[in-house]
Structure 1
Amino acid sequence: MNFTHPIAVFDAGIGSYQIARKIAKRYPTQDIVYFADRASFPYGGKGRAELLATLQGTLARLADYRPAAVVVASNAPSVMVLDDLRATSAVPLIGVFPPVRQALAASRTGHVAVLGVDSLVESAEIRAYVAGEASGGRVELVAASDLVALVESGAFVSDPDGTLAAVRAKLAELPADIDVITLSSTHLPWLANYFAAAAPALTCLDPADTVVEALAPHVRPGSGAFVTLVSSRPGYDLAGFREMTARLGIELAITPV
């Protein structure tokens, strides 16, 4: 298929699909390559060096499509290794970051939480990032790789009762005065309805809209093609991905890679 300098969007699975679709809606003639790198799931279980090597390999693969820009649609690598990736990339890279300032601005109590994969919330990089964004507010870093796994496995579709129980258990870990959380894995917004059911008064922020607007200078009119690439491994195979997207009512022409 011929492309006119597509926007490439990727993370370790289904998480980045919503960002890719938001880009397609905002820029309808933009060609898009969406890569669900399930073979590398989870990014959140990798140390910094392994994560950097994994993403360098992914960017090399996507270079074949001559992208105008690449969205690293995952909070952990955006916070932890994006600067290193940019140092060796000839293509503009757009990251996804926890909207800490927006969370504190929306909070009545000044106490908010960032939910993300374990490697993100345990990293020195996220602590430095939060320190620069918090401006006097209180920010809790909350490990949520268990919730991310429910999305990538498809359990959030096949086991709604179990998923709601897991979300309630996670929220029970938080201090009682937290009134805003950031869903700082691109998988977590898939659970927005569960968070709303578990805690109707809680505000949940998704940074996807900021990413879409940041792409404006890189848009190149094309045919509006949307190509889906999916890698796989045992436990995260192509059949499971197809079943999950079918249950979600998502129709994708998938190219295995």
Structure 2
Amino acid sequence: MEPFATLHRPIAVFDAGIGSYAAVRLLQERFPNQDLIYLADRASFPYGGKDRQALLDATAQAVQRLQGLGASAILMASNAPSVTVLEDLRRTASVPLFGVVPPVAEALALSKSGQIGVLGVRSLVESAELGACIAAASRGRGQAFSFNASELVELVESGAFLTDPARTGGEVDAFVRAILATHPEIDVFTLSSTHLPWLGDYFQRLFPGKAFVDPVRASVEALAPLSTTGTGRVVCAVTENPAHTVLDFHLMLAAMGIELDVVVIGGRL
């Protein structure tokens, strides 16, 4: 399918919305000649609101689509499915598949109090897999508490973080203060939804004494051995449903000052 056929061994990045574009941007900075496919799977938005089986079904279809478009490797730039269903997806994927997981060990290493907060969407923080991930990464070196930050995701997906800074600042402030009211010793947070780093300026400005760790950088670095020389082009594939349309997606891109070649894909596989 044009224009994907013109790309040279593209690496694909996907999520259910605009959040994963942060990973695309980091890949462009790290590997400027790498061709990329960016899938905004808005027909399945939000991943964070799905149960495990629904999440597996949606992400498996996204992986199949990207393989069909010629992806040589895929980064699932969404924390919830990376923690809960990545290994299931790897068993059937025909290309290397990477995920984004909460950087618990890194956060604990930065923490002076030994207490950190993992911010993520509901399906992540309620999963048994996150508990196992935290236990394996912490190894008794401190405490990690998880918090449902789904309400903050909407600030990014709606574009409010750009168009309504007063509302965004107020909601970010109230959310973090509520956590600190019961866990005052937390001094490091992991931004374990790809939407949350877009709010990084708000977090840092409102809570300058805290550290906020973006997990995507480590995932991007893991792709280094697979990077190839192309033209550095990015082609965006997007799915839609009546509630999350391509028009809305174009409006978000415009508000964020992002120019992309956008191709609508859909239909049954």
TM range (shorter): over 0.9
Summarize deviations over 1:135-180 as a string: whole Å, max 9, x none: 2211110000110121112122222111111111111222111110
Q: Provide the rounded CA distance (Å) in 1 between the counterparts of 2:186 and 2:29.
A: 33
Q: SS of 2:198's equivalent?
A: helix
The aligned amino acid for 1:249 is G
Q: Provide the rounded CA distance (Å) in 2 between the counterparts of 1:197 and 1:214.
A: 30
Asked if structure 2 preserves the Cα contact closer than 8 Å seen for 1:6 and 1:69, the reply is yes
Gapped runs of 5+ residues in structure 2? none
Alignment pair present for 1:132 and 2:136: yes
- 1:229 corresponds in structure 2 to 237
Asked if structure 2 preserves the Cα contact closer than 8 Å seen for 1:80 and 1:120, the reply is yes
Q: SS of 1:227's equivalent?
A: strand
- 1:248 corresponds in structure 2 to 256
Alignment pair present for 1:74 and 2:78: yes
Alignment pair present for 1:27 and 2:31: yes
The aligned amino acid for 2:219 is V
Alignment pair present for 1:48 and 2:43: no
Per-residue deviation, 1:220:
2.2
Q: Provide the rounded CA distance (Å) in 1 between the counterparts of 2:30 and 2:176.
A: 33
Asked if structure 1 preserves the Cα contact closer than 8 Å seen for 2:116 and 2:188, the reply is yes
Per-residue deviation, 1:236:
2.1
Q: What is the aligned-residue identity percentage? A: 50
Query: Following superposition of structure 1 onto structure 2, how do residues 139-150 of structure 1 map, counting pairs within 5 Å?
Result: 139-150=144-155
Please give the TM-score of this superposition, normalised by the length of structure 2. 0.93
Q: Provide the rounded CA distance (Å) in 2 between the counterparts of 1:8 and 1:156.
A: 26
Q: What number of residue pairs does the alignment pair up? A: 257
- 2:125 corresponds in structure 1 to 121
Summarize deviations over 1:80-124 as a string: whole Å, max 9, x none: 000000011111001101000010000110010000000100000
Gapped runs of 5+ residues in structure 1? none
Which portions of structure 1, spanning 4 or more consecutive aligned residues, are displaced by more than 4 angstroms? none
The aligned amino acid for 1:153 is S
The aligned amino acid for 2:192 is S
Q: Identify which of 211, 223, 227 aligns with 1:219.
A: 227
Q: Identify which of 234, 238, 244 aligns with 2:246.
A: 238
Alignment pair present for 1:193 and 2:201: yes
- 1:95 corresponds in structure 2 to 99
Please give the TM-score of this superposition, normalised by the length of structure 1. 0.97
Summarize deviations over 1:202-252 as a string: whole Å, max 9, x none: 100001211111001211222222101122223322222222222222112
Alignment pair present for 1:64 and 2:72: no
Q: Identify which of 9, 12, 29 aligns with 1:5.
A: 9
